[in-house]
A and B are shown apart, each in its own frame.
Chain A
Amino acid sequence: MTTTLQKPAELQQTVPPAGATRPKRLGQRAVGFFMALPPILLIALFVGFPIVLAFGFSIGLTGGLNHTIATIGQNVHEADAWWGTLAAYQEMFTNKRFLGDLLVTVIVTLVSTATVIFLALGIGLYLKLKGGRMARLLSGLAIVPLFIPVVIASWAILTFYSGTGFLRSVFALFGLDFPVWAFTMVTVIIGSVWTSLPFAVLMVSSGLQSVPNAMIEAARDAGAGSLRTIVSVIVPMAAVPIIIATTFTAIGIVGSFTVPYFTGPNSPNMLGVDMSNYFSAFNQPQQSAVMAFTVFLIASGIAALYVWANFRSAKEQGKV
């Protein structure tokens, strides 16, 4: 909805929305279908199919293509009924280590996502309502992490908050003792916020910018205060980009690996890290698959929100 709002009305009428209008010949529809097919096939083969396969493996179906991994892996629960077994799920959901990981993953995702969206909204609103040098400086700063590979960022953040890090050094110069945040969940949250900020800021600011200034002025003329204008006019009008930013941030964090791997404690840590531990170090691929499907489940809940938000925006524009 971002560009359509900015386009002048007469242009909008002559430009049909993507993939719509004009009577299509059957041939053209077929061409479109076959042009769109390659990436879909790639994803079906290397994402969809493995997910089905791994789900089968997680419920103990160890034949066919799962045979190799079932032979290599240890502690594999084999199916005892035609549909499989829930033994691996049972094992993991009574495993203290896994439950601790799950709790930590949910908490880190909630706290980091909330912080990221709060910061993105703050910066976006400041840019929209105030503007000026300070606002541009802030948004420019927030984009910097986009330029830095996550591996480096995680490591830089770890050293910054470590026992001999910057914060502790500064406090020590004043004779104060600052806590060591490295290898705790605090740095994992800091790292997650750091790496997720640019995308959220880009998405939220572009959504906020597309709210017509006339609407804001009208609300002010009607006597609404700043807070009221923000809560009842600006944020609802930019709801779709904000929801998209929230879902992508949350999905990115819930499955993150590099940040918690570098900066987090050994245990409990986020599921992404322990998933890889179970797979490589412990050689228990089935347990690892169970963890993967737990994260999938959380992520698909979040993803449903994203799809819903997009459909809502499409509906508002009369495209469905």
Chain B
Amino acid sequence: MAISTGSPIASRTRRPLTPDSIFRRVLVGLFVVLMVVFILGPLLWLGVRAFAGNWTYPNLLPDDWTLRWWQVVVNDGALGIAVQNSLFFAPLTVLVSAIICLPAAYAFARFDFPGRRFFLISLFATNAFPKMGLFVTLAALFYALNLMNTILGILVVHVLGTVVFMTWIPAAAFAAVPRNLEEAARDAGASKLRVFASVTLPMALPGIIVAAVMSFLASFDEAQGTYLVGAPAFMTMPTQMYSLVLNYPTQVAAVFSILLAIPSVALMLAAHKHILGGQLAEGFQIK
């Protein structure tokens, strides 16, 4: 799952071991160990907690193991509703975002029109402005439009968080489709729509998939805006985490964390080739 868009420059031959090279290897090894502890440590520490009974400090493992906390989560109605809400908003967000943004992505890649660059930069504005500040300003408008604590209001917040992904990444993907291929298909007598459906779209699909995955996760993980606009009428899984951490035993929050992480990990694993292959990085450069 490493990033490999080019071959490293170092030659494959092994150099003889000198004190200097041993020292370097130890240094690199130490860095890797530190990174493993830094990145994976917190996740494992949390993961173990979901199956832990009693845990005496400072033991590194719990005293006994139990599945009790999973039952608590499954039997808790509020938590179930949060799962349902999350699974309702995320796909809807992706759909709405795709309808709004994908034609624009194609236009950015293929047409030159007045204001194109200005449009691209104003899209960036949603990302440049800190989310919490944005939601605080949005709240004033939502009060006036009666969108507070409504499904539409939450949907707006979620879609706003996906616009940059859904426009930029597919735009880069559409732009990367070679034009001579499209023209060749045209010359062979295919209609414009046919060319789009059987040449452009399939070639740009990895970028669109990455955008859809990122959007799904953005909606699935969105907490601050949903909390401000939707709580307590509509709780999703991440907003429920806020109250879980305060009101439930840590083990319950740990179980809930694992549940919340499953869709993210599954989707990311499914799309990781494209994400690491540069579709994401490519999308973030205005052209």
Q: What residues make up the interface of A, taking CB atoms closer than 8 Å to B?
A: 1-3, 6, 11, 14-20, 24, 28-33, 35-40, 42-44, 46-51, 53-54, 57, 65-69, 72, 126-132, 134-153, 155-157, 159-160, 164-166, 168-170, 172-173, 190, 194, 197, 199, 201-203, 205-207, 209-210, 213, 216-217, 240-241, 244, 248, 251, 254-258, 262, 272, 275-276, 279-280, 285, 288-289, 291-293, 295-296, 299-300, 302-303, 306-307, 310, 313-314, 319
Contact = CB atoms under 8 A, between A and B. Distances in A.
Nearest to B145: A65
A31 B109 CA distance: 13
Interface string B1-37: 1111111111000000000000000001001100110
Contact of A213 (B9, B57, B272, B276): B9
Contact of A72 (B111, B143, B265): B143
A160 B41 contact: yes
B40 interface: yes
Given A42-B159, A47-B126, A17 B287 contact: yes
Interface of A is mostly: helix
Interface of B: 1-10, 28, 31-32, 35-36, 38-43, 45-46, 49, 55, 57-60, 100-101, 103-104, 106-116, 119, 121-134, 136-141, 143-144, 156, 159-160, 163, 166-167, 171-172, 175-176, 178-180, 217, 220-221, 223-224, 228, 238, 241-242, 245, 250, 253, 257, 260-261, 264-265, 268-269, 272, 275-276, 278, 280-282, 284-287
A34 to B, nearest CB: 8
Q: Which of B8, B49, B121, B220: most chain A CB closer than 10 A?
A: B8
B140 A36 contact: no
B60 A306 contact: no
Contacts of B45: 156, 159-160, 165-166
Contact of B38 (A46, A173, A194): A194
